[in-house]
Amino acid sequence: MKTVTADEQDSFGGRARESVTGWWGRSRRFLSEVRNETGRVTWPNQKEVYATTIVVILFSIVSGVYLWGVDLGLNVLIGWLYKTLGAA
């Protein structure tokens, strides 16, 4: 069991020093693990990037057209309701 001196109990003493060096050590460890993980990543080749880019663009266009159609339909429906109920 470790004995704790009065200086180590003081917030300006041991704990402050330990927290600063602990922060530095944790940061170094984190960055080294990030570097190791980055080395293990399987990066896509140019053909895969091109294919997924095309899929994203096409999906965006289809989603935009769909939402435009829904918006147009709801706009017509709300206009019809206003006209029918005499609000407009």
Per-residue pLDDT tens digits for 30-41: 999 999 999 899
pTM reported for the whole predicted model: 0.54
Inter-residue contact 73 to 66 (CB < 8 Å): no
pLDDT at residue 17, rounded to an integer: 58
CA distances from 74 to 65, 66, 77 (A): 14, 12, 5
CA distances from 42 to 37, 38, 49 (A): 10, 9, 13
Inter-residue contact 88 to 82 (CB < 8 Å): yes
Tell me the per-residue pLDDT of 21-61, one tens digit each, with 9 for 90 and over: 688 888 889 999 999 999 899 989 999 999 999 999 999 99
CA 14 to chain centre: 37
Domain boundaries, the chain: 1-43, 44-88
> Any idea what DSSP says for residue 44?
-
pLDDT category, 79, cuts 50, 70, 90? very high
